[in-house]
């Protein structure tokens, strides 16, 4: 009895300060109350739960999937939580892989190729006092050696760097972020286990942080971005952040400076590529977070009202809603196209040739705006090809159009061109031409190219009649025409005359005069003048 009294006084055990339960009270809610439709549950997630339970472990579908099921939505991803350790989970499945260091989890893979699906399985974690955790002075990279072997560690600001101490389900629920994300669903019994009144908050359309919001943001600053993402995703259903959850967001924003850039980049993509990008921009502005989360995200928010950027955000939301794939390279290429054009013009003004000027602009913009993030190589290659294709679309002669439609990135480049036409940057006729050319047979393609050549001849004759060029004056060129001329010179076949672009004026041969005494008069230039 004395020990129980001391524990209660110090806040140990199940009872916290003032007798309040620290980990919430377990409530088992039957299907007749929560109303989840079993048909919305992914069969592969059900198989994972069944396999774990058949092996003697506890297992539930957990997190956002349960929230969406309660709201009648079909979840995009299904996660499973269990009391089995990662090693025990891995041993039960043929294709399972332990990943992560900060949080060790297991990916159970179903299917192959593009049809594959990953069910993420995590082990119930203990709710630990982070003030008692081991502390390192640096971050994940600078303190890599010190973190080796640690199960629970924080940095000097209190941000959790390791959290791999296993515990019971009620403690696992307490360390999750929002009440509506802390519920567990058993697809076999159809019972929802709720410790923090998540069902009540879902019905009230409230996003509430479990525990003290400021402390939870300090433990993991990425929760700031997650708060914005959930508020954006669920705003159309009437959800809003609870005031105590929203209030510390701006004051906690500086904590994101200690988060690895690659992780912030990934979280930014989740904001923009989960079907709620326009709503995410709105929430960032509404919550006072329009600047300061991540430099590239700042640019997106600042340019979100520009026609090109607004169009790509809306198109991304539409594609996600239709179940189509989206690529970060395409979205970011649209956002940063303005920078590429400005830098390209700057390089041309310095006297650089068109094509090297474009490549230099692309390199400069990518280095300045993207920086060092995971997957940078592929991202750079995809964005570079999308940008470099744009001026080539305006050159419809020779064999280049055949090479364009055979290019592995033609569809991405063409979609980019279509978006430019939608905002009035290029003519719609150009987009229609490439659309038809891409699906036509070879005979029709030859006819289309012949028509383009004839149109060019007619246009040239018309220009010559209306505005004859001044002697010695070079014709004015836009950026795209300058690049096309440069490519003509580079790609001219060996028998193409003197190797200059076809639109360049021909050099006139100077006739050599006969030497004096030949009866044809004297030479006009003294010897050695190069005549």
Active site residues: 77, 79, 177
Which strands sit side by side in the sheet containing 191-194, from one edge to the other? Answer: 27-29, 191-194, 183-186, 59-62, 79-82, 117-123, 105-110, 96-99
Beta-carbon contacts of 89 under 8 Å, excluding residues fewer than 6 positions away, are 52, 82, 96, 106, 108, 121, 123
Which residues are 123's β-sheet partners?
A: 82
**DSSP state string for 300-329:** HHHHTTSHHHHHHHHHHHHHHHTT----HH
Structure tokens at 82: 């269990």
Any idea what DSSP says for residue 112? S
Contact 258, 221 (CB under 8 A): yes
Total residues found in the chain within this entry: 531
Any idea what DSSP says for residue 236? G
Neighbours of 131 (CB within 10 A): 8
Q: Please name the helix (run of DSSP H) or strand (run of DSSP E) that holds residue 487, with its range, or none.
A: helix 479-491
Round to whole Å and give the CA distance between 158 and 220.
9
Round to whole Å and give the CA distance between 291 and 52.
45
Round to whole Å and give the CA distance between 526 and 31.
107
C-alpha distances (whole Å) from 355 to each of 335, 395, 479 are 22, 14, 10
Beta-carbon contacts of 291 under 8 Å, excluding residues fewer than 6 positions away, are 298, 301, 302
Which residues are 402's β-sheet partners?
A: none
> Residue 462, SS3?
helix
C-alpha distances (whole Å) from 521 to each of 253, 369, 513, 528, 530 are 89, 69, 8, 18, 19
Round to whole Å and give the CA distance between 224 and 246.
9
Residue 334: exposure state from Cβ atoms within 10 A (0-12, 13-18, ≥19): buried
Beta-carbon contacts of 268 under 8 Å, excluding residues fewer than 6 positions away, are 225, 293, 294, 296, 297, 300
Q: Please name the helix (run of DSSP H) or strand (run of DSSP E) that holds residue 466, with its range, or none.
A: helix 442-466
Contact 49, 88 (CB under 8 A): no
Contact 208, 245 (CB under 8 A): yes
Structure tokens at 427: 């003519």
């Amino acid at each position: 009895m004395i020990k129980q009294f001391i524990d209660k006084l110090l806040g140990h055990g199940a009872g916290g300060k003032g007798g309040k339960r620290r980990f919430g009270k377990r409530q088992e809610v039957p299907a007749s109350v929560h109303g989840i439709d079993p048909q919305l549950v992914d069969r592969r997630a059900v198989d994972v739960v069944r396999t774990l339970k058949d092996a003697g472990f506890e297992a539930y579908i957990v997190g956002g999937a349960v929230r969406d099921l309660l709201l009648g939505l079909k979840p995009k991803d299904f996660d499973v939580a269990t009391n089995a350790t990662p090693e025990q989970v891995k041993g039960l499945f043929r294709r399972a892989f332990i990943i992560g260091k900060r949080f060790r989890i297991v990916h159970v893979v179903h299917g192959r190729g593009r049809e594959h699906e990953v069910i993420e399985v995590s082990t119930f974690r203990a709710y630990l006092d982070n003030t008692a955790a081991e502390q390192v002075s640096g971050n994940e990279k600078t303190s890599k050696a010190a973190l080796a072997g640690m199960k629970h560690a924080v940095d000097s600001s209190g941000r959790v760097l390791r959290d791999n101490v296993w515990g019971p389900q009620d403690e696992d629920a307490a360390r999750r972020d929002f009440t509506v994300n802390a519920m567990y669903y058993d697809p076999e019994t159809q019972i929802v286990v709720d410790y923090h009144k998540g069902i009540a908050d879902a019905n009230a359309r409230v996003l509430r942080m479990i525990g003290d919001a400021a402390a939870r943001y300090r433990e993991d600053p990425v929760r700031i971005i997650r708060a914005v993402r959930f508020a954006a995703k669920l705003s159309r259903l009437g959800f809003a952040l609870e005031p105590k959850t929203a209030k510390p967001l701006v004051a906690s924003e500086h904590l994101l400076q200690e988060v690895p850039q690659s992780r912030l980049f990934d979280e930014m993509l989740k904001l923009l590529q989960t079907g709620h990008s326009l709503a995410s921009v709105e929430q960032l502005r509404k919550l006072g977070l329009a600047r300061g989360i991540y430099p590239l995200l700042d640019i997106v928010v600042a340019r979100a009202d520009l026609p090109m950027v607004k169009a790509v955000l809306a198109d991304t939301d539409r594609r996600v809603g239709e179940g189509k794939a989206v690529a970060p390279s395409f979205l970011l290429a649209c956002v940063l196209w303005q920078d590429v054009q400005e830098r390209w013009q700057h390089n041309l003004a310095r006297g650089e040739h068109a094509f090297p000027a474009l490549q230099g602009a692309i390199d400069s913009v990518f280095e300045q705006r993207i920086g060092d993030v995971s997957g940078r190589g592929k991202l750079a290659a995809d964005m570079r090809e999308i940008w470099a294709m744009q001026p080539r679309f305006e050159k419809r002669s020779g064999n280049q159009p055949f090479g364009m439609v055979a290019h592995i990135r033609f569809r991405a480049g063409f979609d980019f061109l279509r978006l430019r036409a939608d905002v009035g940057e290029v003519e719609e006729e150009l987009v229609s031409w490439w659309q038809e050319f891409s699906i036509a047979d070879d005979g029709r393609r030859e006819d289309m190219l012949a028509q383009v050549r004839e149109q060019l001849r007619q246009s040239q004759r018309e220009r010559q009649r209306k505005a004859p060029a001044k002697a010695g004056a070079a014709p004015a060129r836009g950026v795209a025409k300058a690049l096309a001329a440069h490519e003509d010179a580079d790609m001219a076949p060996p028998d193409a005359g003197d190797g200059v672009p076809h639109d360049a004026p021909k050099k006139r041969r100077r006739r050599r005069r006969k030497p004096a005494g030949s009866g044809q008069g004297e030479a006009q230039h003294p010897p050695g003048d190069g005549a």
